Amino acid sequence: MVLLLIRGDNYKKIKNALADIHRHGKLTILGKPRIIVPEAADEILKYILGTIKKPCKRACLVRIQESAPKAIDRIRKIHPPAHIVVISEKYEPYYYLMRDLPKMPVLKGFYKSKKKEKEKNNDKQ
């Protein structure tokens, strides 16, 4: 399980990126996306990457079931409309974020797509 830090100009782009991750990237989102303070998101990014080009205006965190390498590979293929950073146990902020995640406000307006009827029938067979 890893965390995705999604940074964008507005929540609409962040929600589109989440939908892309779920639908096209086929990554399993666990729980609900949580809003994180943009300044904190920038600090986390500085810790992981070293420097940032542009501060973000909005940010959220979401847990996914897949491993970090698999998540990175799938996200690279879909080109979402927001900046996405994969945070694994390898990084120190991961544990603090996991601890604080339940305390963060929920990002409203994002809903996981339901399986289509055809996919349900294939799963039963």
Residue 120 has pLDDT above 70, yes or no: no
Residue 125 has pLDDT above 60, yes or no: no
Give 21-52 as a DSSP string.
HHHTS---EEEEEEE--HHHHHHHHHHHHS--
pLDDT of residue 116: 54
Residue 46 has pLDDT above 70, yes or no: yes
- Catalogue all structural domains in the chain, each as residue range(s) with its CATH number: 2-108 (3.30.70)
Give mean pLDDT, residues 51-78.
92
Burial letters 16-25, b for 16+ CB under 10 A, else e: bbbbbbbeeb
State how far the Cα of 44 lies from the Cα of 50, in Å rounded to an integer: 9
